[in-house]
Amino acid sequence: MLSLTANRQAFADLSFLPGQMVAVLLPLPFGGSYDYLVPAGWPALQAGDFVRVPLGGRQCEGVIWGAASGTVAPEKCRFIAELLPVPRLPVVSLQLIAWVAAYTLSPPGAVLKMAMSVPAALAGPRVSLLLRAAALAPPGLRLTEPRRRVLAEAHQPGSASDLARRASVSLSVVQGLLEAGALETVVMERKAANAEPDWQHPGPVLSEAQAGAATELRQRIGSGFSVTLLDGVTGSGKTEVYFEAVAEALAKGRQVLVLLPEIALSAQWLERFRHRFGALPMAWHSEVSDVARREGWRAVLEGRAKVVVGARSALFLPFADLGLIIIDEEHDGSYKQEEGVIYHARDMAVVRGRFGAIPVLLASATPSLETRTNVETGRYARVHLPDRHGGAQLPEILLVDQRRHPPARASWLSPPLLEALGQTLASREQALLFLNRRGYAPLTLCRKCGHRLQCTNCSTWLVLHRSAQAHGPGRLACHHCGHWRPMPEICPDCQAEGCFAACGPGVERLAEELTKHFAEARIAVMASDTLTGPGDAAALVARMEARDIDFLVGTQVVAKGHHFPFLTLVGVVDADLGLAGGDLRAAERTFQLLSQVAGRAGRAQHPGRVMLQTYQPEDKVMMALASGDAARFYAAETADRRMAGMPPFGKLAALVVSGADAAMVDEVARQLAKSAPNSGAVLVFGPAPAPLAFLRGKHRRRLLLKAPRQTSVQSLLRTWLRLVKVPSAVRVQVDVDPYSFL
Ligand code: ADP
Ligand code: ZN
């Protein structure tokens, strides 16, 4: 696999002297490297040095990438303008960038852009102008009591408002002292003075099984590259156990990266980290402020940030000395980035681990088939936690056959589930109703003519939203392109007035149905669009913990990681939903998601139960969930994939051809099919209209390449793509190891 190796040699031990030409990689979406000259009188430059170079009429920041490509004649070559005052990008980061670019067939500049996501951090340390007491008080200074207090405080520098606050005086007092020369200005480098996680901070007493697992994980730290699967049922204490590995890495002075899905929602995880290590880790995700990003990026590069917890993009942070990577919920689909550089963060983390010669831990209660297979073949090690912590029982899982227990008309809760909800409410416990559908209703149609309200930019139905939080009352939204509009008054097709019918449930509609049945219950909805930020999620979690909520209705954002001791009933409203699409991983994904949702029930002293509403109780996924026989389910799935030569036993790569002009898109897709590398075991399917055949105003066609495991799909793809001329109005997107087939 590492034959795509961007080898160390290409980056290490190279230095470029004044007068020499050197390749500089620029963080541009379609960019590669460009040659520049090292100016006379400069120190020797090395790969990874951050520089500023002229590009056309402007200047651009980039990194020294290696030997010049020689495509520019020396006399035409321009000089590097500036060496930036930042430590250089470590060789391991350069290797990762080169490797990810080669593996995903992306321009290296696009990958560098992910590593240089905070251009402002290159501007050198941030400084503040602070005030402190002058060494010599000016003669004849009038000393009032407020002034005396300020001067006493000002032995420790601070901003004017800081000093005013500390001395409890008005700003004008400080201003007066400055004008009188009793205070002077000092320039200070601003560094966040965050408390560091303390590995010596006492942790919980581990059970025997947990302690054994923790010891094994601790031994990996500092012993080179390894990948270990930490698997154990939900609530077995995987987090507590991998915290021990974090402690070990910190004790050895190394940095740690923890990747979580839905990082913006992980308030509970952060709290547990603080509890364990006495301080918060550095967080890295889309909600982090610009200032924190700028400081954080530098702290990672300078080795000051010891533990980073983040979304997949954190993998590309410039760690000075990373010693451990943990991927929590390693099976989670959100690790796959589907836009720009299309990559799988779990797989790239393993590559990063190998380049850095460090251990990688993959934690999950429902490991992916890929990871399980790697364990079976001995590539990955496995550490197992067999039981829930503290004797908590796994919940009982019941299938509710919707054919035998149909819900009433225009409602979605079956009599057995309603009864269980009533019991839960009566015993003052909590219930979670899970439905992976945002909004009020997934489809709105005209009762007269059957016309369905569709997005104008996409081949999708518009989703009706009624809650004021989300899109305002009675709005129709496209979940793919963000387009929305108010509910029309007349049908665009038959002009009938006010006869639209909402079809099917979303979480909002379920909440409404619950209110009808349980007027006294306190009900809350949790979905990505009802939360406007991590604060919202934290507030909801706190209300759940305080038992201010009886019934929580949620999408998959509630499935992940939360621990609510009084949550004893989980109702899955439409367990069959995920099976519908029928892609390669539909069964596996449904099993994982529903296991995870089910795992929210009965995590403490109170035993939990889970009810799955289904129309196909004899489906293999439903049977596996009800019987708890995960091993058998996975064995059958594995056998199927092996037979079919599907991942992880074979390789897939998808091409998505898109553009505004359908005829042009079809033509490119046809040309691609004509020059496809069909031979022997390599098969190309398509072109076929994508399931989302029209998305954000673009027509889309798909081709799928299937090849045996040992094939270098990258070289096949490169050769193939060179054969077809693609007009600029058409885009061909390459997705190596596709997870989405839409
Ligand atoms: P998992 O990640 O496997 O789902 P967690 O690590 O979240 O499990 O543990 C489940 C719950 O049990 C958490 O509230 C955790 O704090 C608690 N727990 C696990 N192990 C211990 C322990 N050894 N001592 C005290 N509490 C523990
Ligand atoms: Zn749309």
Can 8-96 and 393-437+506-638 be said to share one CATH topology?
Answer: no
Contact call for residues 530 and 554 (beta carbons, < 8 A)? no
Pocket around ligand 1 at a 6 A CB cut-off: 204-207, 210, 232, 234-240, 389, 563
Q: Which fold has domain 8-96?
A: GIY-YIG endonuclease (3.40.1440)
Residue whose Cα lies nearest atom 15 of ligand 1: it is: 237
Q: Which atom of ligand 1 is nearest to the CA of 272?
A: 16
- Ligand 1 binding pocket mutation candidate from 240, 272, 560 (most atoms within 8 A of CB): 240
Which bound ligand lies closest to the C-alpha atom of 268?
1
**Ligand approaching nearest to the C-alpha of 239:** 1
Alpha-carbon torsion angle 354, 355, 356, 358, nearest 10: 0
The closest ligand to the CA of 697 turns out to be 2
Q: In angstroms, what is the span from residue 543 Cα to ligand 1's centroid? A: 21
What lies within 8 Å, CB to CB, of 576 at 6+ separation is 614, 615, 616, 619
- Distance in angstroms (rounded) separating the CA atoms of residues 572 and 426: 20
Task: Indicate the helix (H) or strand (E) that contains 642.
Answer: helix 630-644
Cβ contact 131:150 at 8 Å: no
Nearest Cα residue to atom 23 of ligand 1: 206
User: How far, in Å, from the CA of 241 to the mean position of ligand 1?
Assistant: 9
Centroid of ligand 1 to alpha carbon of 272 (angstroms): 10
Closest protein CA for atom 19 of ligand 1: 237
Strands (E), 472-566: 475-477, 484-486, 500-503, 523-526, 551-554
Ligand 2 centroid to residue 486 C-alpha, Å: 14
Question: For residue 468, what pLDDT is reported?
Answer: 57
Three-state helix/strand/coil letters over 443-484: EEEECCCCCECECCCCCCECEEECCCCCCCCCEEECCCCCCE
Whole-number Å distance between alpha carbons of 621 and 665: 38
The DSSP element (H or E) to which 610 belongs, if any, is: strand 609-614
- DSSP string for 385-445: E-S-GGGPPPPEEEEEETTTSPPPTT----HHHHHHHHHHHHTT-EEEEE-S--SSBSEEE
CATH of the domain spanning 650-736:
3.30.70.600
Rounding to the nearest 10 degrees, give the CA dihedral for residues 470, 473, 479, 484: -120
Q: How far is the CA of 266 from the centre of ligand 1 (A)?
A: 15
Nearest alpha carbon, ligand 1 atom 10? 235
Q: What is the pLDDT of residue 1?
A: 44
Using DSSP's 3-state secondary structure scheme, residue 271 falls into: helix
Give every residue of the chain whose pLDDT is below 70, as ranges: 1-9, 124-128, 189-194, 264-265, 468-473, 533-534, 561, 582
Among protein residues, the one with the nearest Cα to ligand 1's atom 14 is 563
**Fold for domain 208-390?**
Rossmann fold (3.40.50)
Domain boundaries of the chain, sorted by first residue:
8-96, 127-189, 208-390, 393-437+506-638, 439-504, 650-736
β-pairing, 282-284 with 359-364? Answer: unpaired
Measured in residues, the chain has a length of 742
CA of 266 to the centre of ligand 2 (A): 29
Which protein residues have their CB within 5 A of the ion that is ligand 2?
455, 457-458, 478, 480-481, 483
User: Mind listing the pLDDT tens digit for each residue in 331-382?
Assistant: 999 999 999 999 999 999 999 999 999 999 999 999 999 999 999 999 999 9
Arch. (CATH architecture) of 393-437+506-638: 3-Layer(aba) Sandwich (3.40)
pLDDT by residue (tens digit) across 497-508?
888 999 999 999
